[in-house]
């Protein structure tokens, strides 16, 4: 059993910043990929950023240069630093890990970018 709990979402003005956190607990033995996804009502969930066990990162084109994914392995936590936020970044953000060929998801945290 693996649990993921996101935090750090909220309301922010355009141009502002937020830092999302994802605490991972339970039967953790070998996480190959950690990532953040987002979803807007009526649309498919989309990749935001991933970080491999090697430390290699990957970003959606829409967030490159603005968002940074990182991890603290000792704390079993994944972060997403979001800068220069835009209204189109408004979505529910989900944490994801891939372990043993299985995907695990958190329940999501809402980010609203609005003036």
Model pLDDT for residues 58-101, shown as the tens digit of each residue: 999 999 999 999 999 999 999 999 999 999 999 999 999 999 99
By three-state DSSP, how is residue 82 classified? Answer: strand
Confidence at 29, pLDDT banded by 50, 70, 90: confident
Across residues 45-57, what is the average pLDDT? 97
Residue 110, beta-bridge partner list: 92
pLDDT for res 15: 98
Q: Using CB atoms within 10 A of its CB, is residue 91 exposed (0-12), middle (13-18) or buried (19+)? A: buried
Q: What is the mean pLDDT of the chain?
A: 96
């Amino acid at each position: 059993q693996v649990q993921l709990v996101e935090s750090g979402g909220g309301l922010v003005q355009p141009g502002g910043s937020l830092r999302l956190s994802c605490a991972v607990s339970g039967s953790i033995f070998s996480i190959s990929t950690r990532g953040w996804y987002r979803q807007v009502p009526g649309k498919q969930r989309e990749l935001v950023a991933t970080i491999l066990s090697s430390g290699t990162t990957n970003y959606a084109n829409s967030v490159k240069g603005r968002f940074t994914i990182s991890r603290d392995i000792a704390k079993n936590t994944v972060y997403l630093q979001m800068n220069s936020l835009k209204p189109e970044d408004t979505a529910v953000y989900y944490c994801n890990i891939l372990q043993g060929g299985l995907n695990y998801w958190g329940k999501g945290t809402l980010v609203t970018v609005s003036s």
